[in-house]
Structure 1
Amino acid sequence: MIPILSRINELSRIERSIGLSDVEKGEQAALRTQYLQILRGQVFSTLLSVSVRDTLGNDVTPKKLIDKKIANAQ
């Protein structure tokens, strides 16, 4: 579980009930940006472990993905 998610949810509940101050709105925006960066990083690392095979078992992983794997390994 992503640790900042509980604070994001807490701010969301406060926003719906009584509204947020300007400071809390800034915090919420910063936390959401950070959350998206974490999520994108997780998706990226998952994609780096993927290999695509056709029905005959041949590796048909796109060259762009292979290049990213090589660049990330260095």
Structure 2
Amino acid sequence: MHELIEKINALAKKARTEGLTPAETEERDRLRQEYLRQFRAGFKEQLMGVKIVDAEGNDITPQKLKEEQEKRKNK
């Protein structure tokens, strides 16, 4: 992920200073999409481990999230 961000930043800097070729623009867009895919996958993975508890200790995790978590447990 670190290398991906470095490449995206390098292309962004080049775009601001001298401009990008069509191939570089395409690569930048592809890298951005890959970054977003990885970010979303990581975020979703974090959500699968969340349990929401109120001040009284009651589990108030949304039902939809509970169902997704249960699906993952059963796989």
Which TM-score applies when normalising by structure 2? 0.92
Would the alpha carbon gap of residues 2 and 41 (structure 1) be closer, same or farther in structure 2, given more than 3 Å must change? farther
Letter aligned with residue 45 of structure 1: E
Question: How is 1:1-74 mapped onto 2 (pairs within 5 angstroms)?
Answer: 2-73=2-73, 74=75
How far, CA to CA, are the matches of 1:2 and 1:49 in structure 2?
A: 24
Structure 2: which amino acid aligns with 1:49?
A: G
- 1:2 alignment partner AA: H
Distance (whole Å) between structure 2 residues aligned to residue 70 and residue 31 of structure 1:
33
TM-score by length of 1: 0.93
Q: Deviating runs (4+, > 2 A) in structure 1?
A: none
Percent of residue pairs bearing the same amino acid type: 32
Cα distance in 1 for partners of 2:70, 2:2 equals 28
Aligned length: 74
Q: How far apart, in 1, do the equivalents of 2:41 and 2:2 lie?
A: 12
Corresponding letter in the other structure for 2:3:
P
